Amino acid sequence: MVKIAIVDYGIGNLRSIKTSLEAVGSEIIITNKRDGIVNADAIVLPGVGAFEGAIKNLETMSDVILDKVRERKPLLGICLGLQLLFTASTEGGLHRGLDIFKGKVVKLPLNVKIPHMGWNTLRILKPDNPLLKDVPDESYVYFVHSYYGAAECPDDAISRTHYGLDFPSALSTKNVFATQFHPEKSGDTGLQILRNFVEFVKS
Amino acid sequence: MLAKRIIPCLDMMDGQVVKGVRFKELKDAGDPVELASHYYEQGADEIVFLDVTASREKRNILMDVVERTADAIFIPFTVGGGIRSLEDIRSILCGGADKISMNTAAVKNPEIIRESSRIFGSQCIVSSIDVKRVYVTDESEAPGKTVLETARGRCWWSIHIYGGREKVDMDAMKWAERVVELGAGELLVSSLDFDGTKQGYDLVFLSELSERVSVPVIASSGAGTPNHILDALTIGKADAALAASIFHYGTYTIREVKEYLAEHNVTVRL
């Protein structure tokens, strides 16, 4: 069974993401140690909370995460975990991110209720991406967020979602995947996406 | 497009569901986790647990339900009832719940909304508000209150705490605006006038409130038919509808309600 490290940077509840990844056939370690990340087959960067606190708590681990990503270890960023992968965020001042996806994390427009909370649809741009295998276009997934990653490289977005504007709801480049929604809270569709990630790790 | 949410509510005491539930397919119909799983499979968008356990000593039973639910369902769930402190909130969220809801604690100490939303994020702090109409013949009888016209005459809305047992002489509309300012991420509005009547939701209050606040509004109390839920989401402009008995007694399944809404051009997740 593949071993996945969920990075614990001290924010939020990791129980659901752990349970759902176990449900699709992986072994989970929750870790805030460099060793835990090095020894796993894949890395999951979860997240709720604010960007600044998260990136600070991640400081001691960010170089090892980036090293492992360069060595082609699969990484999945979820929600704030997606945002941390961008060049920078404008949440609470300007803060640097891990710069795997080029672009800035910015606030959703003011003409809609914020946070964007609830079930919304995926417009799938890249049905061939391993993360979206067997996920039908217009599937519903669960979102809770006030900011989104405005990707500069159009190729990075594998799905888009409309809420006040069109934003990238899932991204991928090589061995890195990220979802703005919570697959662990998105019922069967979410479990399928997590299963796809685990299959990618195995391959 | 963002879908309107349908949320079954489970009232529980000492770890058991209290409102009558009759599902033959469930082994233990009183077990809130089994019932939550059942609704999850039916297509519920979220689940709300309202714990009415009186005794603080039995809090560990609630925690057991929270943890088992987190392991069993893969949709968001909210826990309310008896939450008094940041420590209560922390233990429920760390147990695996996605959101907590508070009513009495927030009225007694509004700062808990500000503090908890700052620590845990607004997205997991739901302000639950129990409202009751106070009818007046003239606006001058209710200075400073939000008086609106309803089918049964003019009224303003007071708030109630301790599960409806204690009235607070405060304007519910203004209170709702205040908790949003303090950081509440969602409002769960129950009506003591309509609760249990199966006559429909308090649409006058809901529609005015939804216009005024910038956060999602969850309508509660009064659903007897899918049409009532449709009204709450259209006329009442609510973002989500919560219901208990309509689902518990098996009158309608969640899927039937959602299909009805879809036929009437409401966006739902089917």
Q: Which of A13, A163, A185 is the closest to B74 by Cβ?
A: A185
Domain ranges of chain B: 5-263
User: pLDDT value at position B119?
Assistant: 85
Please give the Cα distance from A48 to A81 (Å, whole number).
8
Domain extent at residue A63: 3-202
Q: Does residue B22 have a pLDDT over 70? A: no
Searching chain B, which residue's CA lies closest to the CA of residue A194? B74
Active site (annotated) includes residue A79: yes
* Domain count along chain A: 1
* Section B128-142 average pLDDT: 95
Q: Does residue A109 have a pLDDT over 90? A: yes
User: pLDDT value at position A115?
Assistant: 86
Distances in Å between the alpha carbon of B101 and those of A126, B48, B78, B235? 39, 9, 7, 25
Quote the ipTM score: 0.89
Chain B positions in Cβ-Cβ contact with residue A138 (cut-off 8 Å) = none
Q: A73-82, A128-137, B104-113, B116-125 — which is least confidently predicted?
A: B116-125
pTM: 0.92
Amino acid at A82: L
Q: Does residue B23 have a pLDDT over 60? A: no
How many Cβ pairs within 8 Å bridge chains A and B? 80
Q: Which of A16, A50, A119 is the closest to B70 by Cβ?
A: A16
Please give the Cα distance from A21 to A32 (Å, whole number).
18
User: pLDDT value at position B37?
Assistant: 95
User: pLDDT value at position B106?
Assistant: 97
* Section A138-157 average pLDDT: 95
Q: How far is B45 from chain A (nearest CA, A)?
A: 8
Structure tokens at B4: 């309107």
pLDDT tier at A114, thresholds 50, 70, 90: confident
pLDDT tier at B116, thresholds 50, 70, 90: very high
For chain A, the straight-line distance linking the first and the last C-alpha, in angstroms and rounded, comes to 12
pLDDT in tens, B149-165: 999 999 999 999 998 89
User: pLDDT value at position A92?
Assistant: 85
CA-based nearest residue to B50, from B112, B119, B121, B101: B101
Please give the Cα distance from A60 to A63 (Å, whole number).
7
pLDDT tier at B24, thresholds 50, 70, 90: low
Active site (annotated) includes residue A162: no
Q: Are residues B123 and A48, on separate chains, in Cβ contact within 8 Å? A: yes
Please give the Cα distance from B219 to B194 (Å, whole number).
11
* Section B180-188 average pLDDT: 96
Q: Does residue B80 have a pLDDT over 70? A: yes
User: pLDDT value at position B197?
Assistant: 86
Q: Which of A19, A113, A142 is the closest to B76 by Cβ?
A: A142
**Architecture of the domain whose range is B5-263:** Alpha-Beta Barrel (3.20)
Structure tokens at A80: 């704030």
Task: Please give the residue that has the higher pLDDT: either A130 or B250.
Answer: A130
Chain B 183-202, residues with CB within 8 Å of chain A CB atoms: 185-186
Q: Are residues A184 and B93, on separate chains, in Cβ contact within 8 Å? A: no
Active site (annotated) includes residue A184: yes
Distances in Å between the alpha carbon of A49 and those of A88, B22, B123? 16, 40, 9
Q: Above pLDDT 70, what percent of chain B?
A: 96
Residue A35: which CATH number? Answer: 3.40.50.880
Report whether B93 contacts B65 (CB < 8 A).
Answer: no
Report whether B10 contacts B34 (CB < 8 A).
Answer: no
pLDDT tier at A195, thresholds 50, 70, 90: very high
Across all residues in chain A, what is the average pLDDT?
94
Q: Does residue B169 have a pLDDT over 70? A: yes
User: pLDDT value at position B19?
Assistant: 67
DSSP helix/strand/coil, A140: strand
Alpha helices in B77-125 (DSSP H): 86-94, 104-108, 111-120
Sole residue written with tokens 């209150």: B145
pLDDT in tens, B193-234: 998 888 999 999 999 999 999 999 999 999 999 999 999 999
pLDDT in tens, A41-65: 999 999 777 788 889 989 999 999 9
pLDDT in tens, B25-79: 555 668 899 999 999 999 999 999 999 876 777 788 899 999 999 999 999 999 9
